[in-house]
Structure 1
């Protein structure tokens, strides 16, 4: 788990209703014994997680090419308060790039336009 949160990108594979896997590279932070990601609240990955919380996660590069083993996990959509904590963790981990990305997102969508997702390995 530590190795997954230490990398810059995490490949999160969600599933469509018909079972088709959809892999997406995302930034990742550590949330205690879990992993944390942050995304646009109305994104397809959020909609897929609402329908099916089981996901597959593993390390990847910026283009989403796997760089290690993929692991089964469970995803949980977070409240706005817990999402705010993820924004802080992202700023700390990703530095200036994180600050600029979060600022741009806040200007475009506001604080409620994004959501944190807590991922617990199975």
Structure 2
């Protein structure tokens, strides 16, 4: 069983992205699996987006809602997706997380438009 097959049933992954000074920043995030990519939806004014625009190298691992890592770390490369792909990813995320995704949309609407990025495990 591949890592992507393993994590489909999980709710959270820990995303490790890197600041300009190369210091890691870990964030528990929701995700969906699309093809051979792990897709994360967030808002454009978040630290995750800023860090990934500066450095596409990331690591991911399964984790709890509070960010406690529960699995192995996997290195990957993140690429920001276009508007059409982002709209599709938002729908997939909403389907997976339901009511909680709606609440998150309302709570984060002041952080700009949606941005999705796909992570390919290397």
Structure 2 length normalisation: TM-score? Answer: 0.89
User: What residue number does 1:28 align with?
Assistant: 31
Structure 1 runs of 4+ aligned residues shifted over 3 Å read none
* Unmatched 5+ stretches in structure 1: none
| Whole-Å separation in 2 of the counterparts to 1:5 and 1:22 | 23
Deviation sequence 1:28-76 (CA, Å, 0-9, x none): 1011111011111111111111111010001000111101101000001
User: What residue number does 2:103 align with?
Assistant: 100
Q: Which has the higher helix share?
A: 1
The farther-off stretch of 64-73 and 1-10 is 1-10
Q: RMSD across aligned C-alpha pairs, in angstroms?
A: 1.7
| Whole-Å separation in 1 of the counterparts to 2:53 and 2:23 | 15
User: What residue number does 2:17 align with?
Assistant: 14
| Whole-Å separation in 1 of the counterparts to 2:24 and 2:74 | 14
| Whole-Å separation in 1 of the counterparts to 2:16 and 2:103 | 26
The farther-off stretch of 71-80 and 91-100 is 91-100
1:116 maps onto 2:116 in alignment: yes
